[in-house]
């Protein structure tokens, strides 16, 4: 079932979103200071490709001071816009019965878009 959900996800926007995340991640990586943020954007691009059948996992080092500071910077600069985007799509998809599984995936990606440092999709 998750394979079929991932294929439908890719066809109806997941691939386009993953390409957008990857392009922004690569452009952010052009600066030395932006490399950690670009890598998180690339992680989100991978998450946009195959979200079904995966869970957001918090690593042991997620509570470190460095990850906290990086998450705060991410949240102020990028995260709130990305999370709001996923939240809007989740609400729109949840209106229909067929869209509920896809809305759940967007809600899963809200967590990752808000604070990606110390979290992974496994």
Structure confidence at residue 27 (pLDDT): 96
What are the residues whose beta carbons fall under 8 Å from the beta carbon of 108, sequence distance 6 or more?
A: 51, 54, 55, 56, 121
What is the full per-residue pLDDT of the chain (122 aa) written as tens digits?
799 999 999 999 999 999 999 999 999 999 999 999 999 999 999 999 999 999 999 988 888 999 999 999 999 999 999 999 999 999 999 999 999 999 999 999 999 999 999 999 88
Structure confidence at residue 4 (pLDDT): 95
The answer to whether 51 touches 6, Cβ cutoff 8 Å, is yes
State residue 12 phi and psi, 5-degree precision.
-100, 35
Structure confidence at residue 60 (pLDDT): 86
What CA–CA distance (Å, rounded) separates 79 from 71?
8
Structure confidence at residue 63 (pLDDT): 86
Structure confidence at residue 61 (pLDDT): 84
- pTM of the shown model: 0.91
What CA–CA distance (Å, rounded) separates 113 from 3?
23
């Amino acid at each position: 079932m998750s394979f079929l959900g991932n294929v439908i996800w890719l066809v109806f926007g997941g691939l386009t979103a993953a390409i957008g995340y990857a392009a922004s991640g690569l452009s952010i990586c052009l600066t030395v200071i932006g490399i950690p943020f670009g890598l998180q954007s690339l992680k989100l691009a991978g998450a946009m490709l195959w979200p079904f059948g995966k869970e957001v996992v918090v690593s042991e080092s997620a509570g470190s001071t460095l990850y906290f500071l990086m998450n705060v910077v991410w949240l102020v600069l990028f995260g709130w816009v990305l999370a709001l985007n996923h939240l809007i799509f989740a609400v729109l998809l949840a209106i229909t019965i067929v869209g509920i599984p896809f809305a759940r995936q967007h809600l899963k990606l809200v967590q990752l878009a808000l604070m990606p440092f110390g979290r992974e999709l496994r």
